[in-house]
Amino acid sequence: MFNDFFLNILIIGTFLLLTGYIFRRNPSDLGVSIKIRIIAGLGTGHLGILLMSYPIHLGQNVIDLSNLTIYMIVTYAGPVPAILTTIVIILYRLFILGFTPVFLVLAIISLTIGIFDIFIIKMKVTSLKKSIYINVFNTTFSTIVLYIFMKPMGFSNNPASTLIFFVLFSFAGAFIIYSIFPFIKKGNITYREMEYYRIMTENLSDIISTFNYQWKYLYISPSSKRVLGYDSKEIVGRSIKYFIHAEDIDLVNSFKERLSNASGMATIRYRFMKKDGSYIWVESTLRSMKRGNGNIVEWIAASRDITEQKEIEGKLKDMSYIDGLTEIHNRRYFDEIIVREWDKAIINSEPISLLILDIDYFKNYNDTYGHLKGDECLKFVASSINNLILRGSDFVARYGGEEFVIISNNTNESGALVIAERVRRNVEALKIENINSEVKTTLTISIGVATILPNTTINFKKLIANADEALYKAKKNGRNRCEVFKLGSNPSSEKKD
């Protein structure tokens, strides 16, 4: 008896798990399409047939739990599948019993249960109450009808105990079904969510990846093929350090520290090697994944190709370094370059020279010819200076107003003075009219030159101050000349014009 019951429960449980797997892509109520509902109803009807084929033996009497399938399908799939299940069960009983009184009694039970279960399932109560109402009605109604028709049904040998066990097994079966189904439902929801995430991951332009503590890839989304040229299997198991540009490798070492902070998140830009050997700029947002004890298990990253963005940023940055009028470098870029060249000179133990140029009596020029002509004059002078500087390592910029600067690295004092004289003569040779100049009737410039062999005890600002002092000296001594900074000279207080 109990073995038969457990076999029935095993059949029901196996059926639930199997159908749960088959319909894992569909909502748990199986109500998406009529096709799904028909398949569910027919399938559950065949479960009823299987339960009738393996009845529970109670001495000389037998009972089956096939009507549990109606409870199961109406509760979790709705009216249409329930009707189909009921029809399948009735037809099978007709096939094995024929049109007999026993068939009529069992058919009435199944049909009544099916109709009333559909009515109950439409009630506006909780799913638990619906399940209780259906099970109570099904069991009570079946028991009453079987009790009334015990003799026609052929019950013998203490039929009352048979009905008691029928009630117990019916309630127990319904409880087990109600307990199993939420796990299947939850599993189906989880599966569909994973499917959604997989589809999103595969179609995102971003690359989703995970790493272990040794920075080896555990997973990378299929979009890596489109963006990087690699299949997932070509990356998984390898260290991210293999793909990162050598100049950016230190960023990897900073990941762990940055990801260990309170937020556990960091955004980093670096160059990543594609399969063809070229590099693209990548921006990765990484988040640490921790256990309950706070220990980091792995990292998850969302990465995207920002090569075009970097190119645009580079162009914008270049534009921000160019003087809008003269189209040579501006003061902002000079402030960066002087620091870089100073540091390089310290490392290489090389002298660095700075030339500051000022157009003589440029205020008089503007007053005489107007500001538009003044702008043209600045362009001519800037072009003359820029074209004369032949070394690619030398740097020319507009310092401000009518002042220009030249940085010449690895150049000693005498070499810097040669450059200064060449520039001065070249501007003078332009023969730009400046009739109100107090030097000549053509445009001239004055140049201050300073050279230092830098070390860590001197600041680059000293070089600028020395060149500025030499320029004041050139202007004080008559202009249209070059002066070199010498220790002990007194700075000029003469106002520039």
User: Active-site residue numbers?
Assistant: 402
What tokens were used for 213?
A: 């503590």
CA atoms in the 13 A half-sphere facing the CB of 336: 9
- What letter represents residue 461's amino acid? K
30 in Cβ contact with 37 (< 8 Å): yes
Helix (H, G, I), strand (E, B) or coil at 99: coil
What tokens were used for 415?
A: 């070499």
What tokens were used for 166?
A: 């029928």
Question: With 0-12 CB in 10 A as exposed, 13-18 as middle and 19+ as buried, what is 385?
Answer: buried
Q: What is the DSSP string of 112-159?
A: HHHHHHHHHHTSSS-HHHHHHHHHHHHHHHHHHHHHHTHHHHT--SSH
17: nearest Cα among 192, 171, 188: 188
Distance CA 154, CA 164 (A): 17
What tokens were used for 115?
A: 């109709």
CA 117 to chain CA centroid, nearest Å: 49
- DSSP secondary structure code for residue 239 in this structure: B
Q: Which residues pair with 207 in a beta bridge?
A: 303
- Greatest pairwise CA separation for the chain in angstroms: 138
Distance CA 126, CA 421 (A): 97
What tokens were used for 13?
A: 């449980």
Q: Cα–Cα distances in Å, from 20 out to 32, 38, 121, 180? A: 15, 16, 21, 11
Q: Which residues contact 322 (CB under 8 A, 6 or more apart)?
A: 328, 329, 330, 333
Residue tagged 């990543």 (tokens): 272
Distance CA 198, CA 83 (A): 37
Question: With 0-12 CB in 10 A as exposed, 13-18 as middle and 19+ as buried, what is 363?
Answer: middle
Distance CA 143, CA 162 (A): 10
Distance CA 442, CA 433 (A): 4
